[in-house]
Structure 1
Amino acid sequence: MQTQLISVPFHGDTIVLVGKKNEPYVAMRPIVENMGLGWSAQRIKIAERFDSTVSEIDTVAEDGRVRGMICLPLRKLPAWLYSISPNKVAPELRDKVIQYQADCDDVLWDYWTKGGAIRTEAPNVSQQIALSRHRVALLKELHRTQDNGLRVALHEQLAQISRQLGLSVPALETIGLGTIGASDVVNQLWDALDVLDRKGERYNHAPWMSGMIYLKLPHLAELFKKHNIALHFDSVLRNAMKASKNPRFITRGAKGSSIEGKTIRCWVFEGHAGPNKK
């Protein structure tokens, strides 16, 4: 699963946001160490208290190596922040802890939803460095991103960061490959089904000779993984599937499966997806 890293400047520190499945996560070690706390103890605490939501996300670091980062969903960050009692930390750390508790989650949320936190003063040197890294990360993400909506959002962030640094804003159309249409996106799915056809895999849950296609996405995901097909049912692909004209998208709902012999939740199309229609 591709992730998006955003370096966020915060009162002279740098906090790392990680976008995964369109949800913001926070890399916890930088925050813990920025606050002057011990990572080992806090890592155990985070794992125990947030077991159901904590996630180790593989990210590409600045040196190009892939590393796992312990991350919390941004929505869970305030719960962890307020689990730290300022009265129980060393006096020299107290103001820093209170500062993080006061507005850290708000700043991160602004960066995720608005493309940047509103600041009233000029960034200092450390903030300029963090902003410069953020700008480069945005340029790299724009260069490889093809979804038009995401490109526009990323370009808005890039424009804001560039203005803060006093730099020019490159035109969106000059960065990367640009947009591919919904038909091109959904054709990747039909091409993947052609591969399954050639492998003799049965994926269409519709009745034989019905002229319909019933696709159960978890079943397809298993088949894609089995045959090393790098296709994921993210929001871009799902939206393209809804716009599919040939085969024509009908609905999503409960249908009887000719494969499993029971009612399943599936995507329903009318038309031909390949030689394997059974």
Structure 2
Amino acid sequence: MSTAQQLIPVPFYEDTVVLVGKENEPFVAMKPIVENIGLAWQSQHAKLSEKFGSTITIIVMVAEDGKPREMACLPLRKLPAWLYSINPSKVNPELRDKIIRYQEECDDSLWNYWTQGSASRTGTPSVNQQIALSRHRITLLKELSKTRNIAMRVALHEQLDQTSRQMGLCTPELDTIGRAEPDVPDLITEFWDLFDHLCSQPEGYKLNHSVTPGKLAINLNEVARVAHAQRCEIPNLSELRHALRLSQHPRFIEANKTSYSAHSRDEEGKARIVKCWIFAVNQEQ
């Protein structure tokens, strides 16, 4: 897998096709083309893997749905062979004209963009390509603002920088767009310090539901309610659920396990069933 060195959104009639430059060779992101012409990606992906498996490369990019994906890309020189493997007479009538148009014009249009297009070389992009680049840049900015994974943010920012330069625009600094995942070790330490503080309060909060010595059984929502009642700040629960899986002291064992509480009872006096996160207090256990 590699990050695109040159990514060029190319307008083709009412569609957008994505060219990717890798080691000075043009590749085509195949899923957008397959969906543009109304075919099922799963079956076409199987055909591509069978007939062109040795030439397909996987590149991280933002897909048509706005999500960063590992996209199967075919060398542009192989695109006509795949396109002409589709028999227009065997598809739905409403798709035939579009498929024929792609067969007759798409590879030439993409090759012209690669060899002559102003967006892939110095100069001013055409109006249509400015529109395609602008849409892609906005998509990258939106996805960067949501994505927390550090490696994915770096890959998206590289694409944003390239697209911005093609448009003659400045690239915002990565740290100004959304934010990466929190510092997991600090988040874990912060939570366990808070947990110990709450358990030591005069109110006698019993937050460990485990009936097994050496184990903790904790309901995170309950801990959050107690923390709020004590006016204590608690980390974001979504971030916390991710971080606590990495906890070593206490050591994480299992999430959302249904357990009988050691101290909480229902109206009939029976042990209440609680969904808990389970930890081992001693790493040996």
For normalisation by structure 2, the TM-score amounts to 0.44
For normalisation by structure 1, the TM-score amounts to 0.45
